[in-house]
Amino acid sequence: MGQKVSRRYDPPDSPRSVGWVTPQQVQLANASNPLSLCCGAALDYVVVEYEQYGHMNADRSNVVLITHALSGDAHAAGWDATTAHTGRTWRDRKPGWWDAVIGPGKPIDTDHWCVICSNVLGGCYGTTGPASINPTTGLAWGMRFPVVTVEDWVQLQARLMDHLQVQRLHAVIGGSLGGQQALEWALAFPERVGRIACLAASPRLSTQGVAFNAVGRHAIMRDPHFNNGDYYTGPGPQDGLASARMLAHITYLSDQGLENKFGRRRRDQQAPGFGFDIEFEVESYLDYQGRSFVERFDANSYCYITRAMDYYDAAQRWGDGDLVTACKRLQSKVLVVGFSSDWLYTPEDCREFAVAMCRAGKLVSYADIESPYGHDAFLVEEAPVGRLLRSFLHAQQGSMP
C-alpha cells in the first residue's frame, strides 16, 4: 500500500520469476445475465481484468486466488508484457506488487499452484469502474456508477472462477482489504474454498479507519476540479487525490517506522526556513507519495473503494451483528496474521477474529509478527509472511501450519 523498501527483484528471465505476463480481460455480465449489486442496482456490462501465473492441474484443484488491497490491481507478480517494448529496461519498471512471494520456488509456488488475481469492480486497472464508458450514454460513468461492496467484488470473482471452470479454490489469500475479500469468500461460498489467509485484516474496519477514509474522500470531492466526478475531459482533482493518499499513507506506516526512516531531519540540514515550503524529509516523502499516486489512480475509484472498505462488516452481514455466529458458516481452514505496529487493522482486532473462530469451533491458526512497518508490513515482511503462507498452503486438511 505504500512504504518504499529497498528490494532486490528477480529479472524477467530469472527461474524464480513468472516472467513477462499479459493481463487478460473477460466480460462477465450482459443484458441477459446482469450483475446484481448489494445497493439494489444491476450492471448488464462488466469486464474484469485478471492475470494468471502457473498452470491448472487436470481437475483444477490447485488454484489460489490472490485478492488485492485498496490501491492494488491484478498485476500481482512478474513483469507487465504490455510495457516490454517501451525502450526501458526491466529495471526501470516495477514487478507485480507481491512478486516477492509469488513465483517458481517462492512461497506461493507457481510450479505447484495456479495463481489468479483480478482487479476489483469499481477499480481503475482494467475492470469496469467509474472511468469506464457507460454503454447506455457513451460517456464515462463518473459518480453515476453504482456503489459497490466487498460482497459485490466476491460475487464477481466467483463469476470469474465459473468462467475458468474452477469449482473449488484451494485457497484465497489477501492482505488488508484483500484479507476481507478472502473472509467474504469463505462466508459467501463456504463449499468453494479450502482455506483462506487474512493478513493485516479483520472482519470490519475500525471507526478510526472509517474516519480517515471520510477525510480522504472529503479532500477529493471538495477539490475545485472534481466537478461531481465528471472530470475525465478536463483537469482532475489532483490536489484532492494527492491529499487523500498522503493521509492514508500515514495510516499504513507506524510511529516507530517514521522515526527510524525520517526522524526530524530537514532536507537541507539547515536552520528553519520560517515558511510553509517542504522542509522536513517526512514532508518530502509524503508529497512524493501523493504526486506519484495521482499519476496512476482514479479519484472516483478511490472514493468507491474506500466506501466499500467502510461498509464491510462480516458479523453484521452473516451473524446479525455477532461474529461468532458468522464464523459458524466457515468450512475453510483459516490463517490470520497480525502485525505488531499496525494501527489500521490492529493485532487486537486480528486476535479477536481468531478467538471468535475458536469459539465457533473452527480450525484457525493465528500469528502475530513483530514489525516496525505498520500496516504495510504484510507487503514488507516477506520472509516471515512467506514462511507462513508456504506452510499453510501445503498443510494437510485437519492439520495446522
Annotated catalytic residue within 342, 349, 365, 376: 342
**Active-site residue flag, 249:** no
Nearest Cα neighbor of 204 from 328, 70, 312, 308 is 312
307 grid coordinates: 466506501
- Out of 176, 301, 332, 371, the active site residue is 176
Query: Which of these, 116, 93, 104, 101, lies nearest to 19 by C-alpha position?
Result: 104
The type of residue at 375 is H
Cell of 20: 513477462
Q: Could you say which of 75, 170, 249, 375 is catalytic? A: 375
Catalytic residue list contains 85? no
Cα distance between residue 381 and residue 339, in whole Å: 10
Residues contacting residue 50 through CB under 8 Å, at least 6 positions apart: 23, 24, 25, 26, 74, 116, 117, 118, 119, 160
Do residues 119 and 73 make contact, with C-beta atoms less than 8 angstroms apart? Answer: yes
Is 152 assigned a catalytic role? Answer: no
- Strands 24-29 and 46-53 turn out to be antiparallel
Sign of CA dihedral 323, 324, 327, 328: negative
For residue 157, the 8-state DSSP code is H
**Residue 25 phi, psi dihedral angles, 5° rounding:** -125, 145
Query: Which residue from 153, 164, 148, 154 is spatially nearest to 190, judged by alpha carbons?
Result: 154
All 3 cell numbers of residue 285?
A: 516523502
Q: Which amino acid is at 294?
A: V
Torsion of CA 395, 396, 400, 401, to 10 degrees: -10
Q: Active-site positions?
A: 176, 342, 375
